[in-house]
Structure 1
Amino acid sequence: MRHISPTPLPAHSRLWSRVQSGDFIDGYAVDSALSPRAAADIGFTLPGWAKALMTLRNTLMHPFGLKTEASETGDGAIFPVEYEGEDELILGTDDRHLDFRICLMQDGGRLHMATWVHRNNAFGTAYLALIKPFHVLITRNTMRRIARVASGPAAE
């Protein structure tokens, strides 16, 4: 399997226009020729344990009036698509407590994945602190699944 490394999102990503001082942004990359859409189709097909965490999150957050439903775009996306180009896909939404986007970007034979979060209030700050360990687990698992496919014969 190819090596997944913590790597900043390339500077020419559209996502950087959103980033403000104090925002959370992480980034990972793997050598891969996959398009952002193909990577999303692989990576966002969540394993059972991650689906269970999302269901728990939705159950717990519903009484607080936070968004809890998957995208209704009809394209199978877990989050609404904000931008889709040949080399970049940005998904995400704004909510009362925080705004977030996930970016998948193909750049020079490397597939990058980054998550950006802007906290809108103290609840958003507390929520991010609570879910961050789970975010890291899900993100790394997503990148492992993408890397596994990228390492296969069809991706070579």
Structure 2
Amino acid sequence: MRFYKSSSVKNKVTAIQFPSVVSKGCGVCYQDAFMFTANKADLTAQQVYFTIFAELPQWVKGLLTLRNKVVSLFGFLATDNNMGSSFTSMETGERAGFLRYQLVSDDQVVSTSEEPNMAIWLTVKRVSQSQFIVATEVELRTLKGRVYMAIIKPFHRFIAPFCIRYALKMNRL
């Protein structure tokens, strides 16, 4: 199946059609996926996941802290913002902030979070030696979940690729 184009432009992050990744699938859903080429060769999906999510830009961490304060008032899960905890603890079943690793391999990392309003799947998938996809899928279970996602979606579509570009620019990928 062809769902993406290769790009050799440095630090380019491209929105692509949602790929076939490990998830439960869902009814009312939000999905996005971004593809990029790493500056470094032979990285694993684990290394890429950790590099992007364990070292988020400070302003993104600040927004996540604000988000947690606001959404906790409406009954959403609000935990720490450390989505990458420790590279050495990236094992199936371990927690990283509000996410739990469901699959950890050199080719793919899938982390999830489930609560009454929504379920989230965050995937990093290696598609070639230096190309990766970061994909997000959200099952919206309640009206509150759908309203929340309608508010968050424009921010997510900006912040997700920004965090990938940030890791590329800082030469961590």
Structure 1 and Structure 2 fold alike (TM over 0.5): yes
8 Å Cα contact 1:9/1:112 also seen in 2: no
- Indicate whether 1:20 and 2:29 are aligned: no
User: 1:136 maps to which residue?
Assistant: 157
Q: 1:66 aligns with which of 68, 76, 79?
A: 76
8 Å Cα contact 2:29/2:137 also seen in 1: yes
CA deviations over 1:115-146 (Å, ceiling 9, x no partner): 00000011100000011122122201122024
User: 1:30 maps to which residue?
Assistant: 36
8 Å Cα contact 1:97/1:121 also seen in 2: yes
8 Å Cα contact 1:66/1:95 also seen in 2: yes
Q: Please list every run of 5 or more consecutive structure 1 residues that lacks an aligned counterpart in the other structure.
A: none
How many angstroms does 1:89 deviate by? 0.5
Q: Please list every run of 5 or more consecutive structure 2 residues that lacks an aligned counterpart in the other structure.
A: 1-9, 88-95
Report how many aligned residue pairs link the two structures. 149
Q: TM-score, normalised by structure 2?
A: 0.75
Partner Cα separation in structure 1 for residue 85 and residue 160 of structure 2: 23
User: 1:7 maps to which residue?
Assistant: 16
- Indicate whether 1:102 and 2:122 are aligned: yes
Partner Cα separation in structure 2 for residue 134 and residue 10 of structure 1: 21
Q: Secondary structure at the match of 2:73?
A: helix
Q: Secondary structure at the match of 1:90?
A: strand
Partner Cα separation in structure 1 for residue 160 and residue 85 of structure 2: 23
Q: What value does the CA root-mean-square deviation take over the aligned residues?
A: 2.4
Percent identity over the alignment? Answer: 21
How many angstroms does 1:2 deviate by? 3.5
- The 3 A distance-change label for structure 1 pair 66 and 22 is closer
How many angstroms does 1:7 deviate by? 1.8
> What is the one-letter code of the residue matched to 1:92?
T
Partner Cα separation in structure 2 for residue 101 and residue 72 of structure 1: 13
User: 2:51 maps to which residue?
Assistant: 42
The structure whose RCO (Cα within 8 Å, separation 6+) is larger is: 1
8 Å Cα contact 1:91/1:101 also seen in 2: yes
How many angstroms does 1:20 deviate by? 2.9
CA deviations over 1:87-115 (Å, ceiling 9, x no partner): 10011201111111110000123110000
Partner Cα separation in structure 2 for residue 138 and residue 73 of structure 1: 17
Structure ranking higher in helix proportion? 1
